Amino acid sequence: MDSATLDVWLFIIMSGCAIYCLYIWFTEHKNTKLPDNKLMYQPNCERRKCKDPAGYMKYIMPKVLILGILLVLIDVVIFVDSVLELNFAPLTIALMVLPIAVLVWYVMVLRKGAKRFW
């Protein structure tokens, strides 16, 4: 698999994740009940056992929006890098590390929310 193919797959996956996060935010940001959506809370947390669903929604929805926006920004940079064929080593490394760092941040946010609201 060459670099261009990997860029295309990364672009497709990141676009899908970003669109889904923004969709969740647009449809659920005013909701006070937890939706049946495992992206918003850990799999070991049951919706009905949440101590404060409205508080959790206020806690997690800005983070879902930030996740979606960051994924869109990374996706745009991946697209520009692929189209212009920059081949700039620090940018390539950053494009490998940034998505992982963003996802690690979001998992930490989910864990913190689970400790606080379950």
One-character DSSP codes across 24-44: HHHHHTT--S--S-TTSS-TT
Residue carrying structure tokens 């989910």 = 110
Task: Please report the pLDDT score of residue 86 as a whole number.
Answer: 79
Task: Please report the pLDDT score of residue 66 as a whole number.
Answer: 97
Q: Is the pLDDT of residue 65 over 70?
A: yes
Of 4-8, 61-65, 101-105, the one with minimum mean pLDDT is 4-8
34-62 pLDDT tens trace: 888 878 888 888 888 889 999 999 999 99
Question: In this structure, is the dihedral angle defined by the CA atoms of residues 100, 103, 107 and 108, taken in order, positive or negative?
Answer: positive
Domain ranges of the chain: 3-31+43-117
Task: Please report the pLDDT score of residue 36 as a whole number.
Answer: 84
Q: Is the pLDDT of residue 94 over 80?
A: yes
Residues 58 and 52: their CA atoms lie apart, in Å, by: 10
